[in-house]
Amino acid sequence: MDLDNFDLPLIYAGTICSDETSRIKRIARLDCLKLPRFMDDIEGYRYQLQWLGYVNGILPKPAPRRIKSKQK
């Protein structure tokens, strides 16, 4: 699975197969979905998934994550 190109919020549209994502994108009503709080930082969640894949031996070690500083 290529986590960099996978549309993570789309998985909350229901039970879908990865090869059906292009069709589901056209018909899913993503505007009314309530996503969990950990999905507020999609890139952070994607990095955690990559790290879990590395720990389990199924993905290469991810590059270090650069944290964006929040400017006030």
Provide the residue range defining the domain that includes 39.
Answer: 6-55
pTM over 0.85: no
DSSP annotation of 57 reads T
Rg (CA), the chain: 14
Q: How many domains does the chain contain in total?
A: 1
Say if 1 falls within a structural domain: no
What per-residue confidence (pLDDT) applies to 70? 62
Say if 35 falls within a structural domain: yes
What per-residue confidence (pLDDT) applies to 71? 60
Q: Does the pLDDT value for residue 54 go beyond 90? A: yes
Say if 70 falls within a structural domain: no
Say if 10 falls within a structural domain: yes
**How do residues 20-46 score in pLDDT, each as one tens digit?**
777 777 777 777 778 888 888 888 888
Torsion of CA 44, 36, 15, 42, to 10 degrees: -20
Q: Does the pLDDT value for residue 69 go beyond 70? A: no
Q: What is the mean pLDDT of the chain?
A: 80
User: Which token pair is 18?
Assistant: 């990865």
